[in-house]
Amino acid sequence: MPKRTDIKKIMVLGAGPIVIGQACEFDYSGTQGCRALKSLGFEVVLLNSNPATIMTDPEFADRTYVEPLLPEIAERIIEKERPDALLPTLGGQTALNLAVELARRGVLEEYGVQLIGASLSAIETAEDRDLFKKAMERAGQLLPKSGYATSVADAVALGETLGYPLVIRSSFTLGGQGSGLVKDRRQLREAARIGIAASPNGSILIEECLLGWKEFELEVMRDRADNVVIVCAIENFDPMGVHTGDSITVAPAQTLTDRCYQRMRDAALRIIREIKIEAGGCNIQFSVHPDTGEMRIIEMNPRVSRSSALASKATGFPIAKISALLAAGLTLDEIPNDITKKTPACFEPSLDYCVVKIPRWAFEKFRITERRLGTRMKSVGEVMAIGRTFPEALLKGWRALETGGDLLPGAASPEQMEELETSLPEANPDRLRDLFRALAANVTPAELSRLTGIDPWFLHQMKRITDFDHLLRDTGWDEDRVRAAKRLGFSDRHLAFRFGMKEREVRMKRIAAGIVPVMKAVDTCGAEFQAETPYFYSTYEEESEIPEPKKPRVLILGSGPNRIGQGLEFDYCCVQAALELKTRGFEVLIANSNPETVSTDYDVSSRLYFEPLTAEDVLNVVDAEKPIGVIVQLGGQTPLKLAKALHEAGVPILGTSYDGLDLAENRSRFRELVEELELMQPESRIAGSRETALACADTLGYPVLVRPSYVLGGRGMRVVYSRLDLEDWLLREALISDDEPVLLDKFLEGALEIDVDAVCDGETVLVGAVMEHIEEAGIHSGDSTCVIPPFTLGDHTINEVRRITATLARALGVKGLMNVQYAVRHDHVYILEANPRASRTVPFVSKAVGIPLARLAARVMTGERLSDIRPAEPDVSMVSVKKPVLPFNRFPGEDALLGPEMKSTGEVMGRDLDFGRALAKAHLGSGEPLPTSGTVFLSIRDDDKRSITFMAKKLAELGYGLVATRGTARFLRRNGIRVREVF
Amino acid sequence: MTRRPAAMLALEDGRVFRGEGFGAATETTGEVVFNTAMTGYQEVMSDPSYCGQILTFTYPLIGNYGVNDEDWESSALRAQGMVVRDLCEVPSNWRSTGTLHDLLASRGVPGISGLDTRALTRHLRDQGTMRGCLSTISTNAGELIEKARKSPKMEGLALADLVTCVEPYWWGEDGMTETEPVADRAKPLVVAFDFGIKWNILRLLRAEGFKVRVVPARTPAAEVLAMKPDGVFLSNGPGDPEPLDFAIRATREVCAKVPVFGICLGHQLIGLAFGAKTLKLKFGHRGANHPVIDRRNGVVEVTSQNHGFMVDAATLPDGEFELTHFSGNDGTLEGMVHRSLPIFSCQYHPESAPGPHDSRPWFRAFADAVGKRRGKKLQPLAVGGKA
């Protein structure tokens, strides 16, 4: 069936800010979807509040609204745009919920908007556990035994009937928020209380615990001619009980016979038909009893998901794109397979490799939170790795996490083993490492399987790794053994460690022996057909498949797994640069390990390398492709950290030279530079011991900003106000030594913080924007709300900031992007930090002022000059506010106070003609709408008291109650304002 | 980890692949082909249609769930040899009763692992399937290449005699049986010609309500018709269909008398019986993900396939058959229905095993046709719709 002609204009809903459980995979999906719809000639209207997304770049939709994803706002847009259809299945649970709300309010009916991709009844059936249960009965499928409770008492009564342990779930939630595993009545009471409160309809589901059952997911697609295909089967390494977002997963399924797999496939077909997904995709989760093969349906998501993004990357089958095309009326047999170009999409991908996904957590950011993993998702990112064997994919994935996985851990001692026996049964972020340690200590896979419920297959495969490592221990360099080790996935770094060599030596010797990887294509069809779209991974085999180069090649390094402080924003820069350079005569190669991103969509680059971002793996790509240079400044710290190794290996770095990067990074070199340029920096010291640190702090005078020498996202950073504070910090945070010193800066209290993003070609400097932080200096810039144009700064200060930025850029020899953070106090501008690389704010600035900074940077890096490019002037006629979104609801008990350590996972943008409205929109978009009634707490220091009278009066007039601390209350009363005194 | 012997796969064009041997310590020759199914290695290895072939699995991790007593598609391993990237030594599955290595060793079938199976597959795809020699006892490339070259070519090779049953048998609830199953006595009878039949076909025919009798490949049509069958089934099987003149003759004779359903080789025999030609495909269709489109209604089935030959649609007599099913990948003929007689056939495997169950309606259609016809004159059939 050809595309629908009754629809001309389609509104697409994005997913909003990045939160745990809903990350940039929805930018990937949305970007694909928008592109697909536009390619069919539809007019696309996009709504998404997240400015850091690629999809909100102007070219991906005909009209883009960077506005809060709220029914009131969506209605206004619908009223104005009059779309024929609404596509809500690409924007995660947020978009789905919004669509349901719009339908329920009658908005869709009023304006004649059709819901496409999934009907209201399909969404409701999939999401409402009761309807879902009935549908599954009709489809002849079994769900876990269960019942509902709307009160804690009901819950307890039900719990007694079903027997513990039990799983608690509440409807309409994302990433399992409000879900939990309970083992007794006490835990049930607590979970029921939280779950009922978190559930929009005030009810929770209590069900049979399938703890220890095997878990699988199928990605299913159906078109309006009722053709159904399974895109991918994913098997979870961790058994039931761990949220799939927190599980290591593997594709395709490994331990199912064809009979069992087909039974699951049959069930999936019945389910998608029963739920009536007419033209789109869904994800269905299954569990299988490890000893009997009994099967249960866990849930179904009638939309693209984290898993579908993973499945797309794992198979080369672009689920979001196809979903959009199906929603627009095409059928699977009419859509060509992107990769082969010749065969149709109505097939099921056949893999000839193994894919492993490993989550990455950020527990180090949330110290007091329990590290146990359960049914509530807590990971902030993930990596995917491809290998021809499971050990190879696992080891590649593990080192791609950038958490030290390029070295295998040693065997656990008997005492440690005793501890592990207690800790292993409960999943935690270290379980993979602990399994390696236990296997190395000769604990059998059978025993570990008994402890953890992990299928013995995985453990035996891991044992291949530890057994081989044992062999490596006993011998020195042996060519055959090294070759075998590389085939199993061992890193050069680990071999170096075993052989007592340097990593570089291992690499040289290995290459001399001809032990080099080949690059193989991901082609959806197990090599049955010629692949046209190039998507590659490395492995140690015979035949490489890289095509002959036609143009000069540029390699862009991505940013690896999402983490707090390094996520979507950097991917945005990589994607923009790739798209730009492709149009400028280059073959653009991207190397990245993050399956959630747009950069790992094979459509973005000329060739995609799904590889860990370690020196070894990147150099392998460089050796295979011989690019004219590598771009390291766009992907954040991850590629930047590789600059040294690349530089030493003689690989040209495009843009700012390695020396320039080092000059900015190296604290003492940078301090000298600042002095030489006669600029100002807060006074600082470096301390290699506890005593020196305390002495330095005394010299600087408190408060002092302290941090470990290597930081990302302000990891471990703190403002200390007293010696006691500092002692406490040194005790808890810092492994202080001469090699890993602690940095101390004089903290400028009460200063304003300014951020600047600029592009420089070595001479000309283009300042994208000067951003003013609303919070005072000391809150990590990633957690601050900031505004363009600056709201309180005078022209003089702004000009001074611009002047300093230009001076610094030239002095550092910046070719590409640079971000500088300043503190302004008493009209003095202090440099806090200068980073000659992309920053988190580049997408925000680009959207706020209409200048594609990353694209300009890419052109500059490949030799163009700003004076020739002649970019437009930044447009600051609108006010844009960027507001962070914080994950505290995931980490009960965590202190919600902000500081120099970044804790936000994402951001939203509010944009309007004036500051107030822009700020209000940003609040709306972040899910923290400004309250329109209630009580306001005021506590104002003496210097500012006079300026508060007007505001307090205004608030009282608007009907807010006021409470204040004693001094403030007294002051306000003197001015005739009613206020209640507290404290 | 057990130490595995060095092994080699040598192709007739001189390319050799080195790896480690598993299964039996022996040597074999055959046509080297590849299958892209990711599950079902036991079913595939025991599929008689692979007789004469050395089978490469494009999915690299093979042996993961072991082997069991239930997933057999015939009583023996039928492929000559097995080629995999990574053999699993310690399987895990609740139905597993042993390892793939032990099974191959006990049945005298050699396997090779550790080679670049993707390079091999690309080679076969680009150059076409070719003869090869797989040895787990020698790595003398020159000798093995020579053996590959001396082995028979698949074109013109009649293999049905090697895999067909010696004596007729019944298919009952528990599989093969010598006596007529009591429970099935009153059901319509289907006689299945065994050119290398897969057991799942028999299971499904029986599940559709037939009494199932299997006869050897060379059984004359008259003998079959004397059994008064309500329908005749023409099975899949290995080799080139063209030299099977006895089968082509029998097919022609039964087609005139009773409803006939053919799968794979059976489909080719029907084509040949009606005067069409068969062709050899460059590298065949082997896997479990091949889209087949019913051009009458646009319905797509994801199918299980295993064929190296095909009916040349252009050579079928004009207007005799409605050409209904085509490969989504290369547009070749995948299914046809006779316009005036109850005869129909498909080139792919609606019984799957391994593979998706999308195409089961073929069996239902056959049952319907036979049921409707009992005692009446022959009428054409309709196949199609969803599982």
Q: Tell me the per-residue pLDDT of A135-190, one tens digit each, with 9 for 90 and over.
A: 999 999 999 888 888 899 999 999 888 888 888 876 555 455 556 778 889 988 98
Residue of A266, A352, A457 with shortest CB distance to B92: A457
Q: Are A905 and A885 in contact (CB under 8 A)?
A: yes
Q: Does B20 touch chain A (CB under 8 A)?
A: no
Do the strands A786-788 and A765-776 form a parallel or antiparallel pair, or are they unpaired? antiparallel
Confidence of residue A915 (pLDDT cuts 50, 70, 90): very high
The rounded distance, in Å, linking the Cα atoms of A336 and A339 is: 9
pLDDT greater than 80 at residue A391 = yes
Test the B interface: residue of A528, A529, A530 with most B CBs within 10 Å: A528
CATH architecture of A539-654: 3-Layer(aba) Sandwich (3.40)
> Is A256 in contact with B93 (Cβ distance < 8 A)?
yes
A-contacting residues in B 268-327 (Cβ below 8 Å)? 283, 287-291, 293, 298-300, 302
| B188: preceding bond cis by omega (within 30 degrees) | no
Average pLDDT of chain A?
92
Q: Taking CB atoms and an 8 Å cutoff, what residues of chain A touch B87?
A: none
pLDDT greater than 90 at residue A666 = no
pLDDT in tens, A799-850: 999 999 999 999 999 999 999 999 999 889 999 999 999 999 999 999 999 9
Q: Which CATH superfamily is domain A146-208 in?
A: ATP-grasp fold, A domain (3.30.1490.20)
Q: Taking CB atoms and an 8 Å cutoff, what residues of chain A touch B283?
A: 528
∠A543-A547-A553 over CA atoms, to 5°? 125
CATH architecture of B6-150: 3-Layer(bba) Sandwich (3.50)
CA nearest B117 in A: which residue?
A352
Class in CATH terms, A931-983:
alpha beta
Residues of chain B with CATH 3.40.50.880: 160-373
Contacts of B351 (CB under 8 A, 6+ apart): B198, B200, B201, B203, B204, B263, B304, B363
CA nearest A351 in B: which residue?
B59
With b for 16 or more beta-carbon neighbours within 10 A and e for fewer, the A21-40 pattern comes to bbbbbbbbbbbbbbbbbbeb
- State the distance between the two ends of chain A, measured CA to CA, in whole angstroms: 70
Which pLDDT score, from 0 to 100, does residue A926 have? Answer: 87
The rounded distance, in Å, linking the Cα atoms of A406 and A395 is: 8
The rounded distance, in Å, linking the Cα atoms of A363 and A377 is: 12
Which pLDDT score, from 0 to 100, does residue A174 have? Answer: 47
Domain A9-116 has CATH 3.60.40.10: no
CA nearest B302 in A: which residue?
A347
How many helices and strands, by DSSP H and E, does chain B display?
A: 10, 20
Q: Does B103 touch chain A (CB under 8 A)?
A: no
Residue type, A721: Y
pLDDT in tens, A416-464: 999 999 999 989 999 999 999 999 999 999 999 999 999 999 999 999 9
Q: Which CATH superfamily is domain A683-747 in?
A: ATP-grasp fold, A domain (3.30.1490.20)
Which pLDDT score, from 0 to 100, does residue A148 have? Answer: 86
Q: Taking CB atoms and an 8 Å cutoff, what residues of chain A touch B39?
A: 253, 256-258, 261
pLDDT in tens, A213-272: 999 999 999 999 999 999 999 999 999 989 999 999 999 999 999 999 999 999 999 999
Tell me which fold the domain A125-141+211-349 belongs to: D-amino Acid Aminotransferase; Chain A, domain 1 (3.30.470)
Which residues of chain B, if any, have pLDDT below 70?
Answer: 1-2, 373-387
Tokens representing A277 are 């997904």
Count contacts between A and B (CB, < 8 Å).
172
Tokens representing A306 are 């984290």
pTM for the full predicted model: 0.93
| Coil/strand/helix, residue A281 | strand
pLDDT in tens, A560-592: 999 888 888 999 999 999 999 999 999 999 999
The rounded distance, in Å, linking the Cα atoms of A304 and A602 is: 18
| A789: preceding bond cis by omega (within 30 degrees) | yes
Which pLDDT score, from 0 to 100, does residue A738 have? Answer: 73
Which pLDDT score, from 0 to 100, does residue A735 have? Answer: 67
Which pLDDT score, from 0 to 100, does residue A202 have? Answer: 82
Q: Taking CB atoms and an 8 Å cutoff, what residues of chain B touch A339?
A: none
* Residue from A928, A901, A779, A927 nearest A362 by CA: A901
> What's chain A's length in residues?
983
Tell me which fold the domain B160-373 belongs to: Rossmann fold (3.40.50)
Confidence of residue A367 (pLDDT cuts 50, 70, 90): low
pLDDT in tens, A790-804: 988 999 999 999 999
Residues of chain B with CATH 3.50.30.20: 6-150
> Is A528 in contact with B71 (Cβ distance < 8 A)?
no
Q: Which CATH superfamily is domain A655-680+748-928 in?
A: ATP-grasp fold, B domain (3.30.470.20)
The rounded distance, in Å, linking the Cα atoms of A960 and A968 is: 17
Residue of B86, B89, B91 with shortest CB distance to A389: B86
B89 given a catalytic annotation = no
Domain A358-372+382-512 has CATH 1.10.1030.10: yes
> Is B59 in contact with A467 (Cβ distance < 8 A)?
no
Which pLDDT score, from 0 to 100, does residue B385 have? Answer: 52
Residues of chain A with CATH 3.30.1490.20: 146-208, 683-747
Q: Catalytic pick from B264, B325, B334, B346? A: B264
Q: What percent of chain A has pLDDT over 70?
A: 97
pLDDT in tens, A842-857: 999 999 999 999 999 9
ipTM (interface predicted TM): 0.96
Tokens 């594609």 appear where?
A: A852
pLDDT greater than 50 at residue A658 = yes
Residues of chain A with CATH 3.40.50.20: 9-116, 539-654
B285 given a catalytic annotation = no
Q: Which of A521-530, A888-897, A969-978, B130-139 has the lowest mean pLDDT?
A: A888-897
B264 given a catalytic annotation = yes
> Is A457 in contact with B352 (Cβ distance < 8 A)?
no
Q: Are A12 and A34 in contact (CB under 8 A)?
A: yes
Comparing A209 with B86, the larger pLDDT belongs to: B86
Q: Does B386 touch chain A (CB under 8 A)?
A: yes
With b for 16 or more beta-carbon neighbours within 10 A and e for fewer, the B9-34 pattern comes to bbbbeebbbbbbbbbbeebbbbbbbb
